[in-house]
């Protein structure tokens, strides 16, 4: 079975069966979720308007950890070499 992970402004992240659209699991955050989830090595990473980045088990939807960023996370996290990068409303990245 192939699944897709989706974010929603109803404060939830959903995993659905890609062929049928049937819900596999859902996870509720304390804020709207505008960020597209990133999936890496069996973990779903997603930001929320509640100021957190969440790591969820991709199979079960169970929370592994969350990190308070200090600002809303509207954009998608990126994962590279085991490091999660995210933009937050109160964080600025300069190169």
- Tens digit of pLDDT for each residue in 17-57? 999 999 999 999 999 999 899 999 999 999 999 999 999 99
> Is 94 a residue whose pLDDT tops 60?
no
Domain ranges within the chain, ordered by starting residue: 3-85
Give the C-alpha separation, 76 to 18, whole Å: 20
The three-class DSSP label of residue 26 is: strand
- Tens digit of pLDDT for each residue in 64-75? 999 998 888 888
Give the C-alpha separation, 18 to 1, whole Å: 8
> Is 95 a residue whose pLDDT tops 60?
no
Q: Does domain 3-85 have CATH number 3.40.1350.10?
A: no
């Amino acid at each position: 079975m192939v699944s897709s992970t989706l974010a929603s402004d109803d404060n939830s992240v959903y995993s659905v069966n890609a062929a049928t659209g049937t819900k596999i699991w859902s996870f509720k955050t304390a804020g709207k979720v505008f960020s597209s989830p990133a999936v890496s090595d069996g973990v779903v990473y997603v930001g929320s308007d509640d100021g957190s980045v969440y790591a969820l088990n991709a199979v079960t939807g169970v929370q592994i950890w969350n990190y308070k960023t200090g600002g809303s996370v509207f954009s998608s996290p990126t994962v590279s070499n085991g490091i999660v990068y995210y933009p937050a409303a109160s964080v600025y990245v300069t190169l």
